[in-house]
Structure 1
């Protein structure tokens, strides 16, 4: 019996990931005439930058100033997402989860200030009973720590919750502790080799939340 839902944030609720890719791509093209391959960037999606920045350092060598690249990309990213709204179906899913009396948690590899500030801007923060971020755990995705903490907060077992994710790192984290997972990829993550998920949707508009939960409660 499903009693709670756990949502990722970046790329799932707000498509910050596509904006980050285009921001870094533009900066690297402008400064170094370097074409950032999507398949390299996407390895860090849903997790942290431990793979991404060493990759850039390897490709660009001593000419690369990571802090400067981060600063310029962040400025562009702010422009790109300034008027972005939540992805299709997100508001409906959150509203339906609350109406159904389900526990609702966020589990994100981003920090608390990032997640909460964007949720406030989108007028979505009030839907969440708990917000679990990288500030609260030792390891981010693909480790399962964020989901374990979310389950602890919701006072649920793995089989009593469902995770909504857009990234492979998120799916791996959920699979490690056997939480049923619905994949809703964005343009950056759409080509990732997702396997062994419960459902995969192009958008949350494809299937009502009640129908998703019913498919698990059978």
Structure 2
């Protein structure tokens, strides 16, 4: 019996991933580097070390990665303020509460970022447990974030369903033993997802109860 749902944040609840991609494209274009989705997508849902190394190697300029990250980070807040939660997110959270499910969040982002935007979206009160990069030694695709969430919820991993938009998130959830439904965004839609339990284009496609029924849980 499923007792909990666990949500990712960036790209799933709020599509910040598309914003980050577009900002990186703009900044790297000023350095005469054309960034493709295929080059950016593997870094989604995890830390940025590998992508930083890719940028520095491609440009042939060791150390420039941090400078580029700072440029992008300065652009992000104003643009993220313009977007709202993805379709169906608020409905899923309300339905989960109505169904008596416990609700957690597992994210590779830091706590300050997450709590600010959850408050702005008016969704913070739904989450009983929130685990961020501040709480673990390794972020996704490592399973630690999910393991910490289910441990604090005092449930077994197979009693929870994770909702993810990225390949790194999917791998983390499955490695931790959770069921996982993927809801890709425009930046992650072409990633080579496998071993997921269900795929949705949007949470508006079906009610949460139907998702659980589809998974026969």
TM-score clears 0.5: yes
* Match of residue 179 from structure 2: 180
Matches within 5 A, 1:1-218: 1-30=1-30, 32-62=31-61, 65-218=64-217
Gapped runs of 5+ residues in structure 1? Answer: none
Structure 1 runs of 4+ aligned residues shifted over 6 Å read: none
Can you list the C-alpha shifts for 1:78-112, whole angstroms capped at 9, x where unaligned?
22211210000000000111111111000000011
Task: Report the RMSD for the aligned CA atoms in angstroms.
Answer: 1.2
Distance in 2 separating the partners of 1:21 and 1:157: 36
Q: Check the 8 A contact 1:48/1:140 in 2, yes or no.
A: yes
1:107-132 Cα deviation digits (max 9, x unpaired): 00001101111100111101100111
User: Per-residue deviation at 1:217?
Assistant: 4.0
Write the distance in 1 (CA, Å) between the matches of 2:159 and 2:215.
10
CA–CA distance in 2 between the matches of 1:111 and 1:37? 26
Summarize deviations over 1:155-195 as a string: whole Å, max 9, x none. 11111100000000011111113211000000110000101
Between 85-94 and 170-179, report the one with greater CA deviation.
Answer: 170-179
Alpha-carbon distance between aligned partners in 2 of 1:217 and 1:157, rounded to the nearest angstrom: 17
Q: Identify which range, 177-186 or 141-150, moves more after superposition.
A: 177-186
CA contact 2:181–2:199 (8 Å) conserved in 1: yes
TM-score of the pair, normalised by structure 1: 0.96
Q: Deviations over 1:4-60 (max 9, x none)?
A: 000000000000001000001101102x12101211211110011121000001001
Report the CA distance shift for 1:54/1:63 in structure 2 as closer, same or farther (over 3 A): closer
On the 8 A contact 1:10/1:16 being kept in 2, the answer is: yes
